[in-house]
Amino acid sequence: MAEFRNPNLQSQGTGGSGGGDLKTMFAVMTLVIAGLFAYQLFVKPKPDATQQQKQQQQTQTQPQSQSPSPASTPASTPSAKDAQKPANSATPSVPVISAATETETTIENELYRITFTNRGGQVKHWILKKYKDSVGKPLDLVQPNTSEKFGYPLSLFTYEPALNTQLTQSLYQVTSSSSTTTGTLFAPQTLTFHYQGNGLDVVKTIHFDSSYVVTIEAEVKRNGQLVRSLVQWPAGFGDQEEFIPPSVRPAHKGQTLTTSVFAWSVDDKQDYEAAGKVSGNATLEGDYEYAAASDLYFTAAFLPDAPNRATIVTLHNAIDLPVDLNDTTSRKHPVDVLGLAVGDTSGYTRVRLYAGPKEMGILDSIHAHSADGGPNGPNLRSLIEFGYLKYIAEPLYFALRFLYVHGISNWGWAIVIITLLFNLLMLPTRFMMMRSSLKMARIQPKVNAIKARYAHLKTTDPRKAEMNSEMMALYKTEGVNMYGGCLPMIIQMPLLFALYRLLANVIELRQAHWAWISDLSVVDPLYILPAVIIICMFVTQLITPAPGMDPSQRRMMAFMMPVVMGFTLSHFPSGLAVYWATGNVMNLAIQLGINQSSIGRELRELAAKRAAKKVGAGSKTIQGKK
């Protein structure tokens, strides 16, 4: 207003009319100011409406490649630095890096075929070429039903659900180390997924080679600041066919639920835990050389480049399935769906991922980084769950594999041969048991006489100790080891359990054919092997001399034990049943041979005499009662 010159003011002080002109000027100015206020209040658009118009204009002028999905472009929260800028300071626009449409890229080598979508930069299919599903198609590790509900492999996990949604729904721009980004590319290869917009800058790079291992690098920035993000495999494996509708999978395959576990190695100490005991969304931090989600035969094992900065999130969900998987109307119960997310506490994640079979030769070749970052960490062999018997089971596995590789070429026949060899090795212990039984049978009358002398005493009577002393002296005089019959069994049991663990866990039995059985990892479809087990055990029990056993008890054992074992093994993988049936056939043959030996004949004679004596005593007792 200092530069404003009103001509009317020049007459001021020279005549009486100047004051009136000044009043007129003030009145006009008052009307102008009032008009301006009225215009602002009633005519000019409100500030929020103007802002909406600007946003609409910006939306219209944005590149067509930006995703139209509202979920992929939520407004970001301004940083503290941005909040300190003057209100009239113009913020430079951040260029948007995105894709116009959803596309797919497939990476392939001799072992796998992995299909990525640029929506979220995640995996839709992870097909293992050397393995089939139960209907004969190449096995897809991505379980479609659970992944659709809980997430796809190699998606990014943060602690913010809204941000997770944005990261998985945004359309990323894809680049590769070759000239194309769609269709099928062959390893070695590198794929990079990049998304930038609304304050977010996300880059995920995956490196592929000729092995099962891929290397993932990922970082998420918001307003220039790193957000802790993890790479995840959230929803189980394709071999868990219980989640597939009965109309798609064979009925016999779905009868048994596939177990899953969380396995890890911290400070070179390996362990695992069943899915049911794993907490959901629990954060674990420590020197993790690897962390894995596994089912019986396949695994997704993350191996951080910097174990000392590793952060693990356990993902435990559940889906209600019918108790009878082939009857959708039966009662439902929750079934575990296990997954993992692995990252780096620094915010920038570099991790290797092994997604493939739990085959010992392959797992031996993959080493984690040690706590100091060196490539000399533990291998992945412990993912095969042999448990505390691994020192026995692993040599047995190598023996079984040796037979398969060197001329047998069939896992079923390899099991038969290893069982025959195993029983031949145990044959000396079988003779030890028979000799011990014979010695015990010979002195049984003397043992009974000692017991009769102390029969009137109570169990708590101190004189009972004298009876035990007499019996021990008798055993020593006759050269009888009272544990001789049990010692061979004690030697055999660890081997038996180790062989059980071996046959229940090795992937080589999965879909392995033998005779009428098409898959040694599932139950015998015709139940022939359980029937063989029952018959052989029954006959063996009947022909085995047992002079010290009551005939009625012996008959009960001859019936009960075979039925129990046969019923139990009818629910176990047929590879185990092949082993058990072969062992029982061989035991029957060995017992027939032992019965023809001098030991066998003497045992049978003693058993016959005592049986006749008991029958005679029983008859006299009955007659006396009459």
Measured between alpha carbons, how far is 417 from 223 in angstroms, rounded to an integer?
66
Query: Whose CA is closest to 586, among 420, 355, 390, 395?
Result: 420
CB-side neighbour CA atoms (13 Å) of 101: 4
Residue 457: predicted pLDDT: 83
Give the type of residue at 161: P
Q: Enter the DSSP assignment of 367.
A: B
Residue 6: predicted pLDDT: 34
Angle (CA) 113 358 519, round 5°: 90
Phi, psi of 327 (to 5 degrees): -130, 100
What does the pLDDT look like over 579-588, one tens digit per residue? Answer: 999 999 998 9
Whether residue 395 is preceded by a cis peptide bond, meaning omega within 30 degrees of 0, is: no
The residue assigned the tokens 């020279």 is: 14
Measured between alpha carbons, how far is 137 from 221 in angstroms, rounded to an integer?
41
Residue 159: predicted pLDDT: 93
Measured between alpha carbons, how far is 55 from 539 in angstroms, rounded to an integer?
88
Q: What's the gap between Cα 439 and its chain centre?
A: 52
Residue 219 has pLDDT above 90, yes or no: yes
Measured between alpha carbons, how far is 434 from 428 in angstroms, rounded to an integer?
10
Fold of the 104-244+254-385 domain: Beta-galactosidase; Chain A, domain 5 (2.70.98)
Task: Over range 49-74, report the average pLDDT.
Answer: 35
Measured between alpha carbons, how far is 573 from 576 in angstroms, rounded to an integer?
6
pLDDT tier at 49 (50, 70, 90 boundaries)? very low
Report the run of H or E that residue 416 belongs to, with start and end: helix 411-425
SS3 (DSSP) at 285: strand
Count how many residues are written for the chain.
Answer: 626
Give the torsion sign (CA, 91, 168, 348, 282).
positive
Mean pLDDT is lowest, of 119-123, 299-303, 474-478, for 474-478
Q: What's the gap between Cα 147 and its chain centre?
A: 14
Query: Where exactly are the structural domains of the chain?
Result: 104-244+254-385, 393-443+480-615
pLDDT tier at 25 (50, 70, 90 boundaries)? very low
The residue assigned the tokens 């062999």 is: 381
b/e code 332-346 from CB counts within 10 Å (16+ = b): eeebbbbbbbbbbee
Q: Enter the DSSP assignment of 123.
A: E
Tell me if 443 sits within 8 A of 470, measured CB to CB: no
The residue assigned the tokens 């790193």 is: 226
Residue 39: predicted pLDDT: 40
Q: Which residues contact 132 (CB under 8 A, 6 or more apart)?
A: 138, 139, 511
Measured between alpha carbons, how far is 76 from 206 in angstroms, rounded to an integer?
27
Q: Which residues contact 100 (CB under 8 A, 6 or more apart)?
A: 64, 65, 171
What does the pLDDT look like over 460-490, one tens digit per residue? Answer: 888 888 888 888 888 888 888 777 667 667 7
Measured between alpha carbons, how far is 70 from 97 in angstroms, rounded to an integer?
16
Residue 87 has pLDDT above 50, yes or no: no
Mean pLDDT is lowest, of 142-156, 248-262, 331-345, 438-452, for 248-262
Alpha-carbon Rg for the chain in angstroms: 40
What does the pLDDT look like over 564-604, one tens digit per residue? Answer: 888 888 888 899 999 999 999 998 998 888 888 887 777 77
Measured between alpha carbons, how far is 186 from 125 in angstroms, rounded to an integer?
16
> For helices 427-442 and 598-625, what crossing angle results, to 10°?
40
Residue 619: predicted pLDDT: 43
The whole-model pTM stands at: 0.75
* Token code pair at residue 219: 């970082």
Residue 625 has pLDDT above 50, yes or no: no
Residue 283: predicted pLDDT: 93
Question: Which runs of E-coded beta strand occur in 137-234?
Answer: 138-140, 155-157, 173-176, 183-186, 189-197, 200-208, 213-222, 225-227, 230-233
The residue assigned the tokens 């979220």 is: 120
Q: Which residues contact 218 (CB under 8 A, 6 or more apart)?
A: 156, 202, 203, 204, 205, 229, 231, 343, 348, 349
Helix, strand, coil shares, percent, the chain, to 5:
45, 25, 35
Task: Over range 2-24, report the average pLDDT.
Answer: 38
Give the type of residue at 123: V
Q: Enter the DSSP assignment of 513.
A: -
* Token code pair at residue 180: 């194309």
Residue 389 has pLDDT above 60, yes or no: yes
